[in-house]
């Protein structure tokens, strides 16, 4: 067979509200997530005598701890068959960034395996498996924007936002998601940092995880406030649990020039991406 190549897109959270801690140890969420189709990893599926998983990013583990491998094992268990494909991951979404790269990769692995097996399980069963693997993963099985509740696994369609132009900035460090949620209930706001709702074209931008993440990683708070002070920027927000900050740009803004300024004034090693919500 010819290799099957599938894209695994990133996401941003337009809003993320933490309602409280649940009895099962997870947090009750109300979040709106949207895909970024032009920022995507790629998974390449090829026939193989047995399962193999490789990645072009040597810093990413490729053992049983990787979500792609966990997705493969879940699919094998559900179907009672061995995965006889080599999967190669081409990594473009930084990890530890709050952009959902690992979750998207896992969802795409499930979709790819089911496609190669003639749709044996179908979307409903894949969604159940995805929810067991991780709270964000079911979102990536579907198209479009979704409001996600529960611990993030309950999805309903949400209105598509305007085609915002975006600049994403990420420092060299990541933020472990469990740490962000673990610090949420006891964290405090930093004076002078804006945490309130930003309303933009009927979209409300807010992230309740900014409080715990900014308290521990002051550089991210500084980055958000630096962006909000720029004339090119209409709004700025931490994405998920971080460490990416995204800015919504005004239509005539030069995102690349703004990224260059950020590297000059904030951190010469900042990763950046310029694009829009729609392709």
**φ/ψ (deg, to 5) at 277:** -65, -40
Q: Residue 40: how many CA atoms within 13 Å on its side-chain side? A: 19
CA–CA dist 7, 108 (Å, integer): 7
Strand ranges (E), the chain: 4-21, 27-47, 52-55, 85-90, 146-150, 154-157, 165-170, 198-200, 203-207, 233-238, 245-249, 271-276
Catalytic (active site) residue 11: yes
Residue in 41, 136, 208, 224 annotated catalytic: 136
3-class secondary-structure state, position 237: strand
- Which alpha helices (DSSP H) does the chain contain, by range? 67-79, 101-116, 122-133, 177-182, 210-216, 218-228, 255-265
Catalytic (active site) residue 136: yes
CA–CA dist 268, 120 (Å, integer): 49
| 174 phi-psi bin (left φ>0, alpha ψ -120 to 50, beta other) | beta
Beta pairing, strands 271-276 & 85-90: unpaired
3-class secondary-structure state, position 92: coil
- Which residues are designated catalytic? 11, 136
């Amino acid at each position: 067979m010819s290799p099957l190549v599938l894209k695994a897109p990133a996401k941003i959270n337009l809003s993320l509200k933490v309602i409280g801690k649940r009895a099962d140890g997870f947090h009750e969420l109300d979040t709106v997530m949207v895909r970024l189709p032009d920022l995507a990893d790629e998974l390449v599926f090829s026939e193989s005598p047995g399962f193999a998983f490789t990645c072009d990013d040597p810093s990413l583990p490729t053992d049983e701890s990787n979500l792609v491998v966990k997705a493969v094992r879940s699919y094998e268990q559900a179907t009672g068959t061995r995965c006889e494909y080599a999967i190669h991951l081409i990594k473009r979404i930084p990890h530890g960034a709050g952009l959902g790269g690992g979750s998207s990769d896992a969802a795409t692995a499930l979709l790819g395996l089911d496609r190669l097996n003639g749709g044996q399980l179908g979307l409903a069963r894949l969604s159940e498996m995805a929810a067991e693997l991780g709270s964000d993963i079911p979102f990536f099985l579907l198209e479009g924007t979704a409001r996600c509740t529960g611990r993030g696994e309950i999805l309903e369609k949400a209105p598509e936002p305007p085609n915002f132009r975006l600049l994403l900035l990420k420092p060299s460090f990541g933020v472990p998601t469990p740490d962000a949620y673990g610090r949420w209930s006891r964290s405090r706001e930093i004076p002078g940092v804006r945490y309130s709702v930003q309303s933009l074209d009927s979209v409300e931008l807010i992230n309740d995880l900014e409080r715990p993440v900014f308290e521990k990683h002051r550089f991210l708070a500084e980055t958000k406030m630096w962006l909000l002070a720029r004339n090119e920027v209409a709004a700025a927000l931490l994405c998920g649990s971080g460490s990416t900050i995204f800015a919504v740009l005004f239509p005539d803004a030069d995102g690349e020039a703004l990224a260059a300024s950020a590297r000059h004034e904030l951190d010469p090693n900042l990763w950046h991406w310029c694009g829009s919500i729609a392709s």
